[in-house]
Copies of this chain bind each other. A is one copy, B any other.
Amino acid sequence: MTSTADEVAAWWATSVSRIEPGVIEYRGRPIQELIGAITLPELIYLMLRGSMPPAGHAALLEAAMVSGADHGPHAPSIAIARMTATCGVGLNSAIANGVNTLGDVHGGAGQQCLELLDDIVSGADPASVVATVRYFPGFGHRFHPVDPRREPMLRLIRQAVDDGVIPGRHLAAALAVEEILGPRVPMNVDCLTAIIYGELGFAAPLARGIFALSRSIGILAHAWEETQQGRRIKGPIPPSILPEYRG
């Protein structure tokens, strides 16, 4: 190969996968050895981290992903996918539009929470960290008085700590924050998943990235349901109601 070809090949260098004629490897493992042999959470871990997960880690990742898959049509990610699906584009575009909304406000709380928990795990004083933010991401919920995902998630996490699967430092950090914030601002699903991602060693931006994978499942289910109903060009409200004009 010429040096130009080398330069171009280097521009797209990757250690995620090797794709050559007749060869497909994910993270150095031939696809033939993976198909039928690894689970989806193991695949996600392998692709993002470069190695297979330690015992017990895939199950926690799976639980976190189950917990965030859907939150109904009040969630912009869900409603937008449903509306997009009525406009004459494929399910791929409906999913894309839904996932695209998972920004700093709608899908970023887990990432923001994990950044702060990481600070505490690295030695920062919980009260000092709490004092730096107006609202602590991942705590309280505008909709659920008690988040029904809290107890089963906490139980799983605690069991994993007891079993030596994870060290429990992010759990301790979150509990310390919850103690400071008081009983009316309990941890919500964003914090609970952030604890898991942190305990498993994921970087904070992946809290958002993995949430996007998880929410994609609910997005697809809703977009597909909408497709089957056959409505065309679905607006947010029935046509009989006109938006108020304030000009």
Contact = CB atoms under 8 A, between A and B. Distances in A.
Contacts of A11: 237-238
A9 B235 CA distance: 13
Interface in A129-171: 142-146, 148-149, 151-153, 155-156
A220 B8 CA distance: 22
A99 to B, nearest CB: 5
B104 A95 contact: no
B99 A86 contact: no
Nearest to A220: B209
A14 B72 contact: yes
Nearest to A245: B18
A245 B15 CA distance: 6
A134 to B, nearest CB: 13
A80 to B, nearest CB: 5
B72 A97 contact: no
